Chain A
């Protein structure tokens, strides 16, 4: 079951917008959405539907009365007006379809689970849907975790692919930042006791279902503002068309109502009106494709506006672990001697730092790995008390550790830390590295340079962000000296050193007070306040429940650099809306030139001078404009679902590019399209 619910595999199967499995249910929805109560959510299309209805009534009346003149035209007009509404419905249904399919699989995962509830130490089998907050359940190998919760006892490996799509199991244990479990995931080995933290219907899985399904989709602030503009335009055109009738009567050229309705539908911004909700849903969907769950459309939109990005150093900017990059011997010691001692001290050290020392020794001095057992060595593990680790063998005692810890150690042996080594330590720290001092007995051998390794390509990524107008700030617990060095190497704009939850929160507030929009990622419980304060807070799915609750997005892959993609998706969302609005408005120019001369061709044949497209007849002109208006909606569905491409080339360059494509294109395209349809209509003898 969980395998089927894997989101990324589902998505891999439905990359294209016109996947057959999505289209068929979408077509069903198209007719359900004709319900005026549904249409009322979208005022522009509501007007079209009313127009279609009126045209139909007028046409039926004409047929009943036996009028012949306009019936052929009116039937076609009515048909195309209905088609316009259906096309817009289709766009929305298609956008919703993908989420609905996912929700369906997720829902199946949830409903079939039974829980082993612990009551006074005894196990009771109950359906997962009857679990309440604060219940304690036992989950053993092979069981599906029945609800969201905190591990209170035990440790287990968990397959979370049902929510993350990531097949590698993760460890969940009580205490610390790895204690959160998600309902619907499966325990692979061992057992855990879980305290349930969410009632049925409020779990992560439920929220996810709601989100992907778009059931509780609320209009985002920018969507509302745009809708107001669209309503305004619709009213303007409604007035322009409605008052045309008295003017026309005055001029002795009355216009039939269906033709006026056709004009109105052509003029009101149906292109953007019909695609607006599809654009919003598709934006959430694109996030989901990248395994990011946005808790609201508002958060996606805010992501586009983000101009300050707070990034944790470890795991985001640098690889999680420090690596040994150089051996700096003390006076009178060769590099090889130092490397040899350091290697011996690290052989049994399974930490990534320890292993990196072994690797470096091999690379620099061809020192092969030796078997500790055959050397009769005993490993001295790191302890919080001594803050050193090392090895004892054949009378040699090798230790490595922080400078002050080793200094204390050699003093006890009657030695001292040479001044040169002290300088080296300071120098390494200044350069952003961590100095690890190696000593044998009372003699200090030198320093191993442990360095934070900046992730490959991250510098370019930051440069890209800078071009997008986004400032990057590195957050680290390091001292300011080290932090400054790493910040310079990684190319971030600013850094916060010796960060605590309080200073993080304060930093976010300071930026916000200056009007900036701040995004950050986090996973720990102590990140929760900052995640909540940030305008866009992306919680890692591997993080704690508290972090996930506080953020407004959850990254199922737990990949902190994904913020950059989130920002791009937010920008795409806004750009797509703007571009299609511009396109929609620019289209109207051509439609006027098609319809106005046609309306008054009898009274004022001179207006034919405006018929610059040389459309064949007044009927074909009106019909062509209406057909173009309907077809353009369906033609732009892929663009609405995919989004307008974003490139970090600066606002002015993007604007110029989009203006040419959607502004100028919107002006020219309908002239060509309407003319072609007109020629086709004439060829088919439809008008």
Chain B
């Protein structure tokens, strides 16, 4: 047996040494610059014509709190409607049946193709087209009584949201490997069961970040419902400043609540993502 050759000289042992910390001068400089700019903006607002006492007074006013509750109720209900419509439309888009495919494509085309505010106004003014709404044999009612601001906002926001959500859902389903669909077929599943049990749960993982995006967009889009008298937070803030002329103060109040709601939603989205990431982690929990 040959002995192993001795290691060559000239390569010192580095095992005891640690990496030095670098000073990163540019980072410190950049951070200082940003703090300065922010301070200047804050100073400008503090010295500007804003009565901060009005902001703090109205921040928790009953009308404003009711407004943010109405905003959230509308956003959640419209999103649920949007998700249901979106899943149905996405499944129809991926169907082999050309009639179903066309209906779904037409739905997306129509409701993505017109402005949301226009759709809200159309729903709210539906009474101009159909003075009475009813099901033959079940009775009817005057459209003005049925089409309340709440219902008009829910239909307008939810159906519009469904058109966008359907594309997100379709992208999610397309992202699932075709082998998953074949494996589901191979154990005797039909198309719908395979979609529901196998494809959609896997699509959810991909779909949640953009759906979170859509929901945040929808929370803010509820403010458009102020034009049809739905008492959400912006609408109520407007009503107050029509009376007391403290426009900027009340807009800051409304802005604060929108920011707060969106800040709470982000960690909620992370929780959901973790729930649907089940099985993708290599290490057992």
Decide whether A and B are members of one complex. Answer: no
Residues on B facing A (Cβ under 8 Å): none
Q: Which residues does A use to contact B, with CB under 8 Å? A: none
